[in-house]
Structure 1
Amino acid sequence: MKRITATLALLSLAASAPAQHPLYFGADLSFANEMQDCGAQFRLGGKSVDPFALIKRKGGNLARIRIWNNPTRTHYSNLADVERSIRRAKAAGLQVLLDFHYSDDWADGDKQYPPAAWAGLDTAAQAKALHDYTRYVLDTLAAAGLTPELVQVGNEINHELFSGTRVEIDWTRNAALINAGLRAVRESAAAAHKPIRIMLHIAQPENAEPWFAAAAKAGVTDYDVIGLSYYKKWSKEPMSGLGDTIARLSKAYGKDVVLVETAYPYTVKATPGANNLLGEDSIDPAYPATPQGQAAYMKDVTRVVLKAGGRGVVYWAPDWIPSSCTKSAGGPVNWENATWFDRDHAWEALPVVDFMRERSVP
């Protein structure tokens, strides 16, 4: 009888224990549709390869996809394009992280401009618009059998949502906007009977702890994952500092922490017509800008994340290679030297792709 009682107690404890979520390894493939429609070719072993399938083949399990409200400079990153990307991801056996930028163009750690249709609204109306749009997108995806496993409520939301480049945050207003998005995700997940984990995402580790402390004080608490960006060019922290921040955030908030954006160049050699965003100012002396240096950097940053208790690493824009219609705000593509594909060898996959197999902790 005592043995039965003990067994029942253990089963009860197991049932009440939080679910163990997987490690997330993968990449943001928001450019893949556009690049391939415009003639870009990705290769592995000299043969054409689907970048979504490549993630899976190399040990990854996640594709991150961005969505803009009403993009006017491109026909991509709208809802139709997102549906196409999620279908590709799921066909490859990947989970999906849907990244709401809540803008018609880039929203990031330097700027948070509202969609044009929401710009003149007061806070209450903007919160309602954000809620209703989030709910519409997720309900539409659910109806098509494309519910993402994770959702970002905002992209690199260091600044107050819809505040442009203003540095000061009105946390009463910001909390109202963020919480409107959180509620919409929870509601859609419940209606679809599909679990969705929610991420809040801050650029550069040195900005994360003050932001999340202020968010908690303002009542922003109903999320599951902390997402961080870490780029040598824009962060004051060494790789070890990233690990320390991850460990402290995990302990303070009891959330999974994922390095959801990072990248490293495999060359800094100039290309005619391109102004590469990650140049000499992005190089850590320990990791030369070579295919081997890029691979070593990603292996080591992954090990730092895992050792600190982080739950994954996601590479940004490994698919943004030149094509017949590749454009950025400054002209031709400026990321080709930080992709997963070698411009000097017919866009052959580089050794960096193997970081997704990294599971050891130093």
Structure 2
Amino acid sequence: MFSTMKLALWSSFLATVLAKGPPSYPGDVEFYKGFDLSSLKILEDGGAIYKDTSQNNATRPVEAILEGMNTVRLRLWVHPTVPYDGGYYETYNLKYVKALAKRFYKQGYHIYLDYHFSDYWADPQKQYQPAAWPTTLKPLAHTLRNYVSRTLQSFSDAGVELSLVSLGNELRDGMLWPLGRVYPFIENEDQRVANFSNFAILYTAARKGVDDAVAVGVQKPQVMIHIDNGWDLELQENWFGALTAAGVSESEWDIFGFSMYPFYGTNATLENLQNSLNAVAKKYNKPIHVVETDWPNKCSGLDAPELSEPSVPVSAKGQIEWVKDIAKVLKRVPNGLGQGINYWEPAWLNNTGLGSACQSAILFEADWSEFPAVTGYSLPSAKMFTEI
């Protein structure tokens, strides 16, 4: 029988557990649920406002409307050179990104910094090195290492401790072109590995930049390596096999990040994603996140793409279903290694198609009736993470 003291201790323990609720998934590892909000400050500075339709169209901050998220993803460009009226936008540069990071960090969100190592967009179609950086390999690697260290120290000095850092964005074809370009589908394995040699030097330099920052007191973030087409197992096997064979140790990254878009090929199915992520988890035993995804709520006309999961409706309901399905895939990854998902740019009111041929994949209805002012009215899908 329990003594009175034991009974009191047991009651106290139960009260604590019930107050905290169930443990986060999996075990004590938090499941990251995030939105990329890189463009939000541009919209807000331009006068955009956001209405929460679930709260009688109350004007609210976007982060208050996007209930259920615990992570904010922000992209960082080096020296943005987007021209306007004889000048240049300070778009996604360090000053701009720090302002957003401070705002969200103070509210308790994980900050996920997405380095683009470019003055502009970096993705499989374009990975051009910053114009002011050296054009030979050794000086370029040195500059990259210093840049990573310096920027991480700058966030820390601003009072922002980063949870996740992606050293490059969608690196399928490498980074810092032309020196760091790679071709992952070269058939001959020896030639493919040799093709990764410059990239391996550059990636290692970036990774050493993280260590340099940590050595002077910056809290170490989890380091991510991010490529696109998470559903493509051949790409993952070729790419990471060549990277490690070219000299990059598996210890140089903590997390795999993959993009998963339904627009760019009907092979981008949930089944293929599951097979690919399972294989990566079994081989490398590291956490895996789907760090970019979206689904359209409007997609019609002659240019509408064939979606990879046609059973998912094109609607706000379909957006919720798609993200829940990806979360289910992640939670089926062996050993609890599927640990996060990010929806890309849900509040970008003047870019509703988000690079696809669909009319809208964001989580708001954009009202331009009082142009140039714009109002975003939230769709039910804005609350998608409350269901995961």
Match of 1:342 among 365, 377, 384: 365
Counterparts of 2:37 and 2:363, CA distance in 1 = 11
1:50 aligns with 2:61: yes
- Paired residues in the alignment total 327
Q: For the Cα contact (< 8 Å) 1:320–1:336, is it kept in 2? A: no
**Deviation of the 1:216 alpha carbon:** 1.6
User: What's the RMSD between the two structures over aligned residues?
Assistant: 2.7
Any idea what SS the aligned residue of 2:154 has? helix
Match of 1:103 among 100, 107, 118: 118
**Deviation of the 1:62 alpha carbon:** 0.4
Q: For the Cα contact (< 8 Å) 2:79–2:130, is it kept in 1? A: yes
Match of 1:319 among 347, 350, 354: 347
Any idea what SS the aligned residue of 1:226 has? strand
**Deviation of the 1:242 alpha carbon:** 0.7
Match of 1:203 among 228, 236, 248: 228
Q: For the Cα contact (< 8 Å) 1:306–1:312, is it kept in 2? A: no
Q: For the Cα contact (< 8 Å) 2:353–2:362, is it kept in 1? A: no
Change (3 A) 1:344 1:297: farther
Match of 1:24 among 32, 57, 66: 32
- Give 1:128's aligned residue: 142
1:155 aligns with 2:169: yes
Post-superposition Cα deviations, 1:176-211, rounded to whole Å, max 9, x if no partner, equal 100111111122134225131000000002122321
**Deviation of the 1:303 alpha carbon:** 1.3
Counterparts of 1:141 and 1:61, CA distance in 2 = 19
Post-superposition Cα deviations, 1:239-283, rounded to whole Å, max 9, x if no partner, equal 11111211111121121100000001111257xxxx99xx43346
Gaps of 5+ in 2: 1-26, 83-88, 185-194, 369-374
Any idea what SS the aligned residue of 1:77 has? coil
- Give the structure-2-normalised TM-score: 0.78
Judge which range, 239-248 or 349-358, deviates more.
Answer: 349-358
Matches within 5 A, 1:176-255: 176-205=201-230, 206=232, 207-220=235-248, 221=250, 222-235=252-265, 236-255=267-286
Post-superposition Cα deviations, 1:30-67, rounded to whole Å, max 9, x if no partner, equal 00000111122222131122223334xx2221000000
Counterparts of 2:106 and 2:360, CA distance in 1 = 28
Change (3 A) 1:304 1:337: same
Judge which range, 231-240 or 333-342, deviates more.
Answer: 333-342
Counterparts of 2:353 and 2:100, CA distance in 1 = 20
Q: For the Cα contact (< 8 Å) 2:330–2:338, is it kept in 1? A: yes
- Give the structure-1-normalised TM-score: 0.83
Any idea what SS the aligned residue of 2:256 has? strand
AA aligned to 2:101 is I
- Give 1:173's aligned residue: 198
Post-superposition Cα deviations, 1:305-326, rounded to whole Å, max 9, x if no partner, equal 222241111000112112xxx7
1:303 aligns with 2:320: no
Counterparts of 2:197 and 2:147, CA distance in 1 = 21
Q: For the Cα contact (< 8 Å) 2:145–2:205, is it kept in 1? A: yes
Change (3 A) 1:336 1:132: farther
- Give 1:6's aligned residue: none
1:79 aligns with 2:94: yes
**Deviation of the 1:124 alpha carbon:** 0.6
- Give 1:69's aligned residue: 78
Counterparts of 1:257 and 1:200, CA distance in 2 = 10
Q: For the Cα contact (< 8 Å) 1:225–1:258, is it kept in 2? A: yes
Q: For the Cα contact (< 8 Å) 1:321–1:335, is it kept in 2? A: no
Change (3 A) 1:41 1:329: closer
Counterparts of 1:155 and 1:218, CA distance in 2 = 20
Post-superposition Cα deviations, 1:97-130, rounded to whole Å, max 9, x if no partner, equal 1000000000002221101112x52111110111
Change (3 A) 1:195 1:150: same
- Give 1:91's aligned residue: 106
Q: For the Cα contact (< 8 Å) 2:36–2:72, is it kept in 1? A: yes
Any idea what SS the aligned residue of 2:176 has? coil
Any idea what SS the aligned residue of 2:306 has? helix
Counterparts of 2:299 and 2:28, CA distance in 1 = 40
Q: For the Cα contact (< 8 Å) 1:43–1:49, is it kept in 2? A: yes
Tell me the percent identity: 29
Any idea what SS the aligned residue of 1:294 has? helix
Match of 2:41 among 33, 36, 42: 33
Any idea what SS the aligned residue of 2:212 has? helix
AA aligned to 1:70 is H
1:263 aligns with 2:274: no
Q: For the Cα contact (< 8 Å) 2:345–2:354, is it kept in 1? A: no
Counterparts of 1:94 and 1:285, CA distance in 2 = 34
Gaps of 5+ in 1: 1-18
- Give 2:20's aligned residue: none
Q: For the Cα contact (< 8 Å) 1:153–1:178, is it kept in 2? A: yes
